[in-house]
């Protein structure tokens, strides 16, 4: 007999955990969550420093690759994505950023009623338990813990001094009325431990809510339809192929890559593409997998003798051992580091209304996402382009649900993106050449001898890749032939199917995408509850 629940959520990432956690608050509503990974409730996930063990390899990580990128000299890019409960919030750098109010006002201006900044702010606040800030912009009672860094790293002060010397403004709270400026990021941490979306919304309730069922190592293979109505999900768990039925809705929360993949495998997508792989179309929806947007990112890297940086060296070993002891005792110090401890938002031109680049200043030398190792200690400064014009796509290479999706971010597909990145490079270099930050540099690893605009363009094509913020592949829209969901996040042309994750974003927000995805989960749960009350 096939099990039957009110809602089946496919994917326990930031959107899925949030919507499942909120819907299951009502004991009369039954919810199942399926995730292909594990429960992600061990020290590798909860210890912030251990993200180095996950991002560069396949621990709790799908570790996808892109197709060769024309704009990056044909290089294949790398796309780490969280696998297991919490999704990418279990492996990310924990930076708590919402984006600019203009980002959400643009969504509303595109016809998506209910998605302006004033509409979504209550959901950001509802999610948030902010230990440091208390204003009209912040919440104190939500499940998601948000705190200042607990590393006590003196380099933070050196970074701020560099910002002053470069004459950039300093910003304490990046999530208030404005966010231009540099400062120290707030993090999704609780008592020095990572607070993933699973830790906030799911883990406390597993075993305590009879109406919440969480299935791990459960890889969804297709959505089941009766006519045009989604009625359940087929999934593989171990060697068994199983089915679970949804009385009310199937909610797809598999992320910007795997949500469109699952929709296509299930017959929802461009029928010509589906036909090529022998998949019968349930509904022709050409926008599925289109509109992929991501932040292209360049990394400045330096070796340094400063004892407060991380790296591979015998000299760094005693510091690491001391740090582990301190973390065990008081949940403070270097082991609480998210690496990207400082950063902020800058304009490449003074006439811009809002910042167009974001910096992440890292307390270790990371080369190729940490996959290329260098002996010694050092640091990095990332610069990413916040609102790229390039659009890519996600598609399927076969009807095999276990094959990875085919990912094409199309970095620098629009030539304007490269030119803005050149300006972003120069703006960031201004900071790196301040006396405060020059004093930290023993060796420039990537940008030595790079001076002219042509030098910069060449280097960007050689080294740019993602900063892990893919969105948009099931975009929300109205009177838009390429929209996949409506403003209630219901999939067009079918019934009983909703998408709740970053893939619904019509445009990429100017900042890290985890907090906005949790907001989407909060708002979706609210909309669903309102519909249930209305009968």
Asked if residue 366 and residue 277 are part of one domain, the reply reads no
What residues have CB less than 8 Å from 471, skipping those under 6 apart?
Answer: 256, 292, 293, 294, 502, 503, 505, 508, 509, 513
Asked if residue 284 and residue 158 are part of one domain, the reply reads no
CA atoms of 304 and 301, how far apart (whole Å): 10
Whether the model clears a pTM of 0.95, i.e. scores above it, the answer is yes
Asked if residue 429 and residue 499 are part of one domain, the reply reads no
CATH number of residue 306's parent domain: 3.30.410.40
Catalytic residue list: 469
Asked if residue 93 and residue 13 are part of one domain, the reply reads yes
Question: How many other C-beta atoms can be found within 10 angstroms of the C-beta atom of residue 16?
Answer: 31
CATH number of residue 25's parent domain: 3.50.50.60
What is the dihedral angle through the alpha carbons of 12, 201, 142, 491, rounded to the nearest 10 degrees?
A: 40
Q: Burial code of 230-265, b = ≥16 C-beta within 10 A, e = fewer?
A: bbbbbbbeeeeebbbbbebbbbbbbbbbbbbbbbbb
Widest pairwise Cα distance in the chain: 70
Task: Give me the pLDDT at residue 313, please.
Answer: 76
34, 235 in Cβ contact below 8 A? yes
Task: Give me the pLDDT at residue 317, please.
Answer: 83
72, 465 in Cβ contact below 8 A? yes
Query: Could you tell me whether strands 144-148 and 186-187 are parallel, antiparallel, or unpaired per DSSP bridges?
Result: antiparallel
CA atoms of 252 and 12, how far apart (whole Å): 10
Q: How far is CA 377 from CA 307, 315, 441, 463, in A?
A: 8, 9, 11, 21
Task: Please report which helix (H) or strand (E) contains residue 286, including its range.
Answer: none
Closest CA to 438 of 297, 304, 298: 304
Question: How many other C-beta atoms can be found within 10 angstroms of the C-beta atom of residue 76?
Answer: 12
Asked if residue 62 and residue 33 are part of one domain, the reply reads yes
Name the phi and psi angles at 210, rounded to 5.
Answer: -65, -20
Closest CA to 513 of 466, 478, 476, 479: 466
Q: What is the DSSP string of 455-504?
A: HHHHHHHHH-EE-S--B-TT-B-SS-TT--B-TT-BBTTSBSEEE-SGGG
For residue 160, what are the β-bridge partners?
none
Asked if residue 130 and residue 253 are part of one domain, the reply reads yes
Tens place of pLDDT per residue across the chain (535 aa): 479 999 999 999 999 999 999 999 999 999 999 999 999 999 999 999 999 999 999 999 999 999 999 999 999 999 999 999 999 999 999 999 999 999 999 999 999 999 999 999 999 999 999 999 999 999 999 999 999 999 999 999 999 999 999 999 999 999 998 999 999 999 999 999 999 999 999 999 999 999 999 999 999 999 999 999 999 999 999 999 999 999 999 999 999 999 999 999 999 999 999 999 999 999 999 999 999 999 999 999 999 999 999 887 777 788 889 999 999 999 999 999 999 999 999 999 999 999 999 999 999 999 999 999 999 999 999 999 999 999 999 999 999 999 999 999 999 999 999 999 999 999 999 999 999 999 999 999 999 999 999 999 999 999 999 999 999 999 999 999 999 999 999 999 999 999 999 999 999 999 999 999 999 999 999 999 999 999 8
Task: Give me the pLDDT at residue 75, please.
Answer: 98
Cβ contacts of 236-245, under 8 Å, gap ≥ 24: 236/401, 242/218, 243/2, 244/2, 244/3, 244/4, 244/5, 244/8, 244/32, 244/34, 244/215, 245/2, 245/3, 245/4, 245/5, 245/8
Task: Give me the pLDDT at residue 87, please.
Answer: 98
Task: Please report which helix (H) or strand (E) contains residue 270, including its range.
Answer: none
What residues have CB less than 8 Å from 466, skipping those under 6 apart?
Answer: 77, 78, 79, 294, 295, 296, 297, 409, 411
CA atoms of 490 and 112, how far apart (whole Å): 13
Asked if residue 157 and residue 138 are part of one domain, the reply reads no
CA atoms of 279 and 290, how far apart (whole Å): 18
Task: Give me the pLDDT at residue 93, please.
Answer: 98
Q: What is the DSSP letter of 49?
A: G
Asked if residue 120 and residue 177 are part of one domain, the reply reads no
485, 474 in Cβ contact below 8 A? yes
171, 344 in Cβ contact below 8 A? yes
Task: Give me the pLDDT at residue 1, please.
Answer: 45
Asked if residue 229 and residue 365 are part of one domain, the reply reads no
502, 520 in Cβ contact below 8 A? yes
Asked if residue 522 and residue 380 are part of one domain, the reply reads no
Asked if residue 107 and residue 155 are part of one domain, the reply reads no
CA atoms of 362 and 219, how far apart (whole Å): 34
Q: What three-state secondary structure class fits 447? A: coil
- Residue-range definition of the domain harbouring residue 274: 1-145+188-292+394-406+467-535
* Number of domains present in the structure of the chain: 2
Q: Is 215 exposed, middle or buried (0-12, 13-18, 19+ CB in 10 A)?
A: middle
Q: How far is CA 238 from CA 235, 241, 370, in A?
A: 10, 8, 31
Asked if residue 314 and residue 221 are part of one domain, the reply reads no
Task: Give me the pLDDT at residue 208, please.
Answer: 97
501, 255 in Cβ contact below 8 A? yes
Kindly list the strands in the beta sheet with 64-69, ordered across the sheet, starting from the edge strand earlier in the chain.
75-79, 64-69, 406-408, 393-395
């Amino acid at each position: 007999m096939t099990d039957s629940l009110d809602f089946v959520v496919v994917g326990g990432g930031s959107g899925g955990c949030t919507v499942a956690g909120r819907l299951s608050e009502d004991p009369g509503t039954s919810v199942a969550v399926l995730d292909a990974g594990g429960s992600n409730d061990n020290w590798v996930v909860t210890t912030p420093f251990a993200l180095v063990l996950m991002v560069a390899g396949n621990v709790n990580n799908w570790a996808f690759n892109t197709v060769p990128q024309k704009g990056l000299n044909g290089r294949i890019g790398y796309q780490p994505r969280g696998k297991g409960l919490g999704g990418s919030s279990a492996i990310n750098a924990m930076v708590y950023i919402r984006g600019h109010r203009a980002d959400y006002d643009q969504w509303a201006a595109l016809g998506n009623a209910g998605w302006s900044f004033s509409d979504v702010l209550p959901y950001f606040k509802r999610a948030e338990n902010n230990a440091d800030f208390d204003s009209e912009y912040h919440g104190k009672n939500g499940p998601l813990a948000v705190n200042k860094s607990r590393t006590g790293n003196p380099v933070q002060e050196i970074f701020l001094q560099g910002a002053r010397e470069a004459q950039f403004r300093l910003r304490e709270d990046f999530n208030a009325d404005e966010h231009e400026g540099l400062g120290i990021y707030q993090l999704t941490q609780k008592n020095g431990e990572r607070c993933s979306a699973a830790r906030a919304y799911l883990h406390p309730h597993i075993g305590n809510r009879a109406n919440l069922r969480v299935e791990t190592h459960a890889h969804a293979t297709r959505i089941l339809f009766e006519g045009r109505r989604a009625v359940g999900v087929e999934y593989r768990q171990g060697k068994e192929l199983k089915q679970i039925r949804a009385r009310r809705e199937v909610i797809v929360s598999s992320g910007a890559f795997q949500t469109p993949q699952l929709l296509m495998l299930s017959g929802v997508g461009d029928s010509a593409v589906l036909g090529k792989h022998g998949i019968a179309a349930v509904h022709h929806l050409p926008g599925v997998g289109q509109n992929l947007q991501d932040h292209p990112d360049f990394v400045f890297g330096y070796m340094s003798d400063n004892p407060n940086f991380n790296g591979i060296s015998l000299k760094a070993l005693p510091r690491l051992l001391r740090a582990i002891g301190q973390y065990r005792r008081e949940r403070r110090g270097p082991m609480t580091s998210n690496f990207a401890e400082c950063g902020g938002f800058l304009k490449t031109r003074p006439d811009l209304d809002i910042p167009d680049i974001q910096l992440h200043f890292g307390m270790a030398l990371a080369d190729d996402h940490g996959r290329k190792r260098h002996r010694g200690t050092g640091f990095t400064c990332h610069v990413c382009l916040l609102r790229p014009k390039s659009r890519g796509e996600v598609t399927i290479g076969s009807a095999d649900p276990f094959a990875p999706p085919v990912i094409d971010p199309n970095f620098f597909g629009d030539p304007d993106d490269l030119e803005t990145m050149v300006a972003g490079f120069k703006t960031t270099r201004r900071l790196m050449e301040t006396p405060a930050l020059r004093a930290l540099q023993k060796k420039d690893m990537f940008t030595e001898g790079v001076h002219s605009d042509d030098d910069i363009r060449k280097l960007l094509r050689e080294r740019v890749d993602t900063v892990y913020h893919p969105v948009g592949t099931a975009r929300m829209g109205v009177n838009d032939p390429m929209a996949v969901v409506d403003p209630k996040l219901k999939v067009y042309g079918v019934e009983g199917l909703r998408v709740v994750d970053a893939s619904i974003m019509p445009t990429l927000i100017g900042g890290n995408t985890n907090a906005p995805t949790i907001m989407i989960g909060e708002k979706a749960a609210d909309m669903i509850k309102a519909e249930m009350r209305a009968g």
